[in-house]
Amino acid sequence: MTERHTKQELLTRIDEAWTALNAALDQLSPQQMTDIRDEQGWNVRDHLVHIAAWERSMTTLLQGQPRYVGLGVDEHTYRTNDEDGINAAIQQQHQDLAPADALRELRSVHQLMLALIEPLSDEELYLPDRHFLPNDPSASSESPVIYRIDGNTAHHFNDHLGWITALVDTPHSSTQQSDS
């Protein structure tokens, strides 16, 4: 999102990406969500946990809490790691989560995200992070929060849908079994 969009346009983008993601997820068995792994060791459940964590980080931001709270990592981990390090911490914490629980959490977080966007005006969506976290000096981004919301919802759903589809559609993927 580089040009100015309305809340309704954002919600439409989110809904389209969410619908496509769920249509693909609804076709998968619990075994497909855990047994097939990509080159980085991620399975579909890991993708779901990851998507939920980053979307949750936006719900906490909109509620005036630091994003690391929503990510489920401590402040030190958040401040001293790049995204890959944070993602590894999130994956490690949830490695034993059942696929159904991961999907339930993702859907719950998504409903909260929509509920938090609903009362915001177009103008409020173009306020920077620091507006939502006035007491957090690290929330200094001048970028409008709408871009972060889009990046952690519609854009993120589409990215992971592609990776999930590639993961389960790989012909040799059925031979890549997890250790769990």
pLDDT band of 140, cuts 50, 70, 90: low
Residue 19 located in a structural domain: yes
Say if residue 109 is exposed, middle or buried (CB neighbours under 10 Å; 0-12, 13-18, 19+): buried
Structurally, the chain folds into a number of domains equal to 1
Q: Is residue 138 part of a domain?
A: yes
Burial class (CB in 10 A: 0-12, 13-18, 19+), 8: exposed
For residues 65-93, one letter each, b for 16 or more C-beta atoms within 10 angstroms of the residue's C-beta and e for the rest, the string is ebbbbbbbbeeebbeeeeeeebbebbbee
| Residue 28 placed within a domain | yes
For 150-162, what is the mean pLDDT?
97
pLDDT of residue 143: 87
- Residue 161 is assigned to a structural domain of this protein: yes
Asked if residue 2 is part of any domain, the answer here is no
Q: Which helix (H) or strand (E) holds 60?
A: helix 44-62
What does the pLDDT read at residue 177? Answer: 40
90 within 8 A of 105, measured Cβ to Cβ:
no
What is the rounded average pLDDT of the residues 130-158?
87
**Tokens matching residue 103:** 């999907």
Is residue 177 in a domain? no
pLDDT digits (tens, 9 = 90+) for 167-180: 999 764 444 443 33
18 domain-assigned: yes
39: domain CATH number?
1.20.120.450
Q: What is the pTM of this model?
A: 0.90
Asked whether the predicted pLDDT for residue 148 surpasses 90, the reply is yes
Residue 176 lies in a domain: no
The stretch 142-151 carries a mean pLDDT of 93
Please give the residue range of the domain that contains residue 119. 7-171
Distance CA 64, CA 129 (A): 9
Instruction: Output the pLDDT for position 157.
Output: 98
Residue type, 175: T
Per-residue model confidence (pLDDT) at position 135: 77
The whole-number pLDDT of residue 149 equals: 97
Nearest Cα to 156, choosing from 45, 2, 8, 21? Answer: 21
